[in-house]
Structure 1
Amino acid sequence: MNRLPASQFLDDAGLNRQHVFDLAALPADLLAPLQPRAHECRLILFGHAGRRLWECVQAEGLRREHPIDEYSVRTVESWLANALPAAQARFVFPAALGTVQVGLQRLGALAGWHHAAPFMVGVDAKWGSWFAYRAVILIDTALPVSEPEDLGHPCSGCKEKTCITACTAGALTEGVFNGPRCRAGRLAETSPCALGCLARMACPVGTEHRYEESQIRHSAAGSLAVLRRYAGLV
């Protein structure tokens, strides 16, 4: 497996998943929105898995509106400055910096990280659903391209399907995710899943990597605020 230069810095900072793509080899519909420039030849996807990134963010304090995004960008910028000081790099994600739509789940699937789960969060055989995509850059440096991981789809051998029965909103019972039921369940006045998906927490894969309760609540509070605005409750 090819590793980025100074990748230990990224691992220690919590961005412990990195994948280098040959920009020209990406599917056309995934590549086109990125509007690559002539000098750009690689795309690097940065993610975090497990608890380390949140520990680092908490150590800095949660004073800003988007502390994880801002921490992730600063970390990648520091890595670039030290590991590839001559490189020209352009962020296309997080959304606050990027001006294009980035197919994060598609990239994750191509990297071998992302498999579809009934509860609509990507799941990985090692980390479960306790990982996320944190930054994407386009770069002019011909770094070695990463090989996709192949740990298999963890849901294929799961017989209990505890995630389906754990969803009190009944959003998973028909075999296809029911978005309206999920939204109604989260927005209910006494919702048990407003600040944390019960189906996700019932998944037995990667439970040793489950986020701290404070991170679960922080992320869920952000999505809940979006749902409330969408529903005209704010």
Structure 2
Amino acid sequence: MTPARSLIENIAAALSAHGLVLRGGFNFAGGEETPSGLSGAAAISVLLVGQAGAAPWPHFLRWREGQSGTIANPLDKWSREVIGAVAETFGARAASPSDRPYLPFQQWAMRAEGLRSSPLGILMHPQYGLWHAYRGALLFEDEIALPEPRDVIHLCDACLEKPCLKSCPVDAYSADGFAHKACLAHVRGQNGAPCRTGGCLDRNACPYGAAYRYPPQVQAFHMAAFAGL
């Protein structure tokens, strides 16, 4: 078993230099189907990498200024480069949420941090609210001593008004799920300027994690990527 403290502290420090954070991890259960590690053998442990608030944004912008030409999915490319370099340093295989075939990042995140989904489908974090993301994972072929995820308060259970389901002008989110086509048409249309410049109105209506809310320019970047603008 790999000693966890020094490894995790060193990885966290390497990620912190880019505004990224470790988002928990776990060891796969015996007999569980797992992705491969660095050598191609089955991975035994996974550490999730992500962000809290918009901390990576200035690091990403500096990287982007140094790139030539148009880059498809620049944030994904930056994340892959940063996490890939950290993985190489610590003998892990880097994985991305956009890898094909898709890896179960949402399930991994719930397992690693004990989180549950909000009505918008984004995992609700007790500190960050909806203002966090998972950018990648480090897959190890050695077992790492990791604590069990603690029980966390699911803030959505205490939220009676559910403003996240009442702020979208086209009711994109409901008990029936996400109305993707209606949302996309609105964001691209003449009445979608508030969403394009300031982000999803439903997401911004959530009262939790306000200190970590993405600035408008970050939300506009993500909305443009979503809408293909």
Measure the CA separation in 2 of the matches of 1:60 and 1:218.
16
1:8-59 C-alpha deviation (Å, 9 max, x unpaired): 2323422213322213359x4xx35x35643532122111111211121123
Is residue 79 of structure 1 aligned with residue 86 of structure 2?
yes
Conserved 8 A contact 1:43-1:137:
yes
Q: Residue 124 of structure 2 aligns to a residue in which SS?
A: coil
Give the aligned partner of residue 170 of structure 2: 169
Give the aligned partner of residue 208 of structure 2: 205
Give the aligned partner of residue 38 of structure 1: 41
Measure the CA separation in 2 of the matches of 1:47 and 1:113.
15
Measure the CA separation in 1 of the matches of 2:221 and 2:201.
15
1:113-144 C-alpha deviation (Å, 9 max, x unpaired): 64211222222111011111101232223322
Conserved 8 A contact 1:18-1:45:
yes
1:72-103 C-alpha deviation (Å, 9 max, x unpaired): 22322333454x2xx2x3233142xx342111
Equivalent residue letter for 1:15: L
State the 1:208 CA deviation.
0.7
**CA distance 1:41–1:155, shift in 2 (3 Å):** same
Conserved 8 A contact 1:16-1:49:
yes
Range that drifts further, 163-172 or 10-19: 10-19
Is residue 150 of structure 1 aligned with residue 151 of structure 2?
yes
Give the aligned partner of residue 5 of structure 1: 9
Identity %: 25
Measure the CA separation in 1 of the matches of 2:107 and 2:42.
24
State the 1:218 CA deviation.
0.9
Q: Residue 160 of structure 1 aligns to a residue in which SS?
A: coil
Superposition RMSD on alpha carbons, in Å?
A: 2.6
Corresponding pairs, count:
214
Measure the CA separation in 2 of the matches of 1:79 and 1:217.
29
- Length-normalised TM-score, structure 1: 0.78
Q: Residue 62 of structure 2 aligns to a residue in which SS?
A: helix
Conserved 8 A contact 1:118-1:176:
no
Is residue 55 of structure 1 aligned with residue 91 of structure 2?
no
Q: Which runs of 5+ in 2 are unaligned?
A: none
**CA distance 1:117–1:177, shift in 2 (3 Å):** same
